[in-house]
Chains A and B, each alone.
Chain A
Amino acid sequence: MSDKLLFKDIDEPGLNTLAVYRRRGGYEALRQALQLAPEDVLKQLEASGLRGRGGAGFAMGKKVSFLPKGSMDKYLVCNADESEPGTFKDRELMQKSPHMLLEGIVIASYAAGANRSFIYIRGEYVLQADVLDAALAEAREAGYIGEQILGSEHSLSLVVHRGAGAYICGEETGLLDSLEGKRGNPRLKPPFPANQGLYQGPTLINNVETLSTVPTIMRMGGEEYAKLGVQTSTGTKLVSISGQVRRPGNYEIELGIPSREIIFGLAGGPLEGRQIKCWFPGGSSAPVLTAEDLDVPYDFDSLAKAGSMLGSGAIIVVDDSTPIVELAIKLAKFYRHESCGKCTPCREGTNWTVEMLERIDSGEATPMDLDIMASVQEHIIGNCLCVLGDAMAMPIGSMIAKFRPEFEAHIESARARADLNPAHPAGHTAGHQAGASEQALAAQGAPGA
């Protein structure tokens, strides 16, 4: 029996069309919601305990309630700029069940009193944007989106807006600037988007998965939905698992199950003969956990207590064949590339972190550099308009803290190589392919080394 909510029969042929979606009871939740007062819909959302699925985990009902009352133009923006490395759950939802998202958007806009909505989808998702456009045309035709939806007083316009490739546009205020046609630079908060967001109007911003869950909540009732999962993390969650596991992909889980069950039970565990070295529980921005943390329940608060975060629900598994320095360089380079450059700590901090890591790899660093690097991370956290810098600083900081002996061994071995061959210091590319990984493995005492 399938107890899936979002993923139930996800691969049913034609689920992306209105006919099949309606046959499965689609848009009934909307009909039901429109018969209630907006406040009563909001009550259901609050009772469900649904927390945002995009990364921050903020209570959705509360977010809706922050929007001011009144007859001004209000906006709903669906954040479909799924760019967090390791995350690909929204892609599957939008591609295979676009009407569920549209239905969720209409219900949420009714609760929030918003009359204009936008789906900001990352430009790389060409197929998914095309699917959404087709679904939108069908929904408009059938009267689910437009003027006086299903004979009610509620009207809503919807535009699918394609981005053009920028991680920072997944940050809510960066997204708003981008949607206004500018560079995607984050804004100073407060004012928060609920008060002054898109075009300076009150704006509700929610992730694809969050909004896609709304029809289910209306169908089940908020209190019934809240019985799923654990106290502070209710419901089910889509988890994207990738990296060095046997069965990477999207899985729907009930929040609160042991992480081990996801990584080993669903994704099949690490590849033959390998051990888990570390794993990111919530996208590459989450501090890494190690094999010792595999029994931590997979929910918002348990992961926070373990020193990491659930984030976007993207688990990246790294096995013992990967040198931690190589992983750190890859990670830091991503954030350096994606930093918008508005705030100094992030712009300079991401750049210096990459340079220091490369020095470690080329044999120009000393163990003292690790402390400098750790302090750079501390100086980024909390000192920028958005959390992009923090998103590099937290995992890099956690890697230095948890794998310090390996960093030190890497420094020593790279220095030894550079000394042997002073004219050609071992560069990064030469380093990690041959010597570095063996050295790193030896330092970890890993099998096979």
Chain B
Amino acid sequence: MTPVPRYAHGSRVPGWDTPADLDKDPATIPGRGGSPSVPVPAELRAEIEASMALYPNSHSATLPALQAAQRLHGWCSPEAIEQVACVMGLTPADLAAVATFYDMLETEPVGRHSVYVCTNISCSLSGADALLAAVQEAVSEAADGASEFNVRAFECLGACDIAPMASVDGVYVGPLSLADVPALLDDIRAGRPVLPEKQLAKRACADVEANR
């Protein structure tokens, strides 16, 4: 039988393809009950603890905590999850279960900047599938594509009025045409505001009567 792969501190590396180690207590919390602790960056610890203090039950802070860890590590890596588990007093399994449920929590390493292209009905009726293909193609051809960009088809982002649209690191831009793709990627690379004239934040309400 192949040896069970383990982290340095003793926990089994999770994965479906490895047999469970039945001799080991599966529900250990790093740093509690005699299991080895993991070092947690002070800022991350402070951020998670501040979130935990907001709720009557600190368990509610799993999403903000995982989001904070993801910002620091780039994705919900096993290391990130161990750190959150250590601060929150939860098992890494609890947190992995949560992380795998939500679309915005990454459970694989991804490029630095997220580009979510909405491909739901309204956007798709306005040409989102071609837009997504164009973005993916441009990124796959770029040398820095894999490290800089995390291009994903996303379910309805709630901006059907600017269809087809994309969310770039949380900033909504649209309506996008295929011609916008190079400028979009260049803006991201340069760290500039993406397509400023197409940002949702600057858009007035469609209802003209509302502003009379």
Contacts and interface: CB of A to CB of B under 8 A. Distances in A.
Contacts of B201: 95, 127
A361 interface: no
Given A85-B122, A330-B124, A2 B158 contact: no
A83 B207 contact: no
B55 interface: yes
A315 B63 CA distance: 32
A124 B121 contact: no
A353 to B, nearest CB: 16
Contact of B156 (A84, A95, A96, A249): A84
B210 A10 contact: yes
A403 interface: no
A86 interface: yes
Contact of A85 (B66, B98, B101, B156): B156
Interface stretch (B13-21, B166-174, B183-191): B166-174
Nearest to B212: A2
Contacts of A261: none
Interface stretch (A161-169, A225-233, A377-385, A414-422): A161-169
A243 B158 contact: no
Closest 10 CB pairs of A and B: A249-B206, A242-B160, A126-B170, A165-B103, A164-B102, A181-B62, A165-B104, A7-B210, A85-B156, A242-B122
Nearest to B199: A127
Contacts of B161: 88, 240, 242, 248-250
B122 A316 contact: yes
Given A10-B205, A164-B104, A183-B98, 11 more contacts: A82-B158, A87-B156, A88-B159, A88-B161, A91-B158, A92-B205, A163-B63, A164-B63, A181-B61, A249-B161, A250-B206
Contact of B121 (A85, A247, A251): A85
Contacts of A122: 158
Contacts of A4: 207, 209-210
A12 B126 CA distance: 30
A182 B200 CA distance: 31
A73 interface: yes
Contact of A2 (B57, B155, B209): B209
Given A9-B210, A183-B101, A330-B124, A167 B59 contact: no
A162 B211 contact: no
Contact of B155 (A83, A181, A182, A250): A83
A244 B60 contact: no
A180 interface: yes
B155 A179 contact: no
B97 A183 contact: yes
A256 B124 CA distance: 30
Nearest to B103: A165
B103 A322 contact: no
A182 B103 CA distance: 14
28 contacts: A1-B212, A2-B209, A2-B212, A7-B205, A8-B210, A9-B211, A10-B210, A82-B158, A124-B104, A124-B154, A124-B167, A162-B67, A163-B102, A164-B102, A164-B103, A165-B154, A167-B155, A181-B60, A240-B160, A243-B163, A248-B160, A250-B206, A252-B207, A280-B121, A284-B121, A322-B125, A337-B155, A338-B155
B42 interface: no
Interface string B103-128: 11100000000001001111011100
Nearest to A158: B54
Nearest to B58: A181
B160 A243 contact: yes
Nearest to A322: B125
Interface string B5-27: 00000000000000000000000
Contacts of B34: none
Contacts of A3: 209
Given A85-B120, A88-B159, A249 B200 contact: no
A194 interface: no
A11 interface: yes
B204 interface: yes
Contacts of B104: 123-124, 164-165
B41 interface: no
B116 A184 contact: no
Interface string A117-133: 00000111111000000
Contacts of B211: 2, 9-12
A327 interface: yes
B63 A327 contact: no
A29 interface: no
B40 interface: no
Chain B CB within 10 Å, residue with most, of A92, A125, A284: A92
A250 B205 contact: yes
B181 interface: no
Interface string A305-345: 00000000010101000100001001100100110100000
A442 interface: no
Interface in A272-287: 280, 284
Given A163-B102, A165-B102, A327-B121, A11 B205 contact: yes
B86 to A, nearest CB: 16
B157 interface: yes
Nearest to B62: A181
Given A123-B67, A164-B105, A181-B62, A251 B207 contact: yes
A199 interface: yes
A266 interface: yes
A87 B121 CA distance: 11
Nearest to A12: B211
Contact of A73 (B56, B116, B156): B56
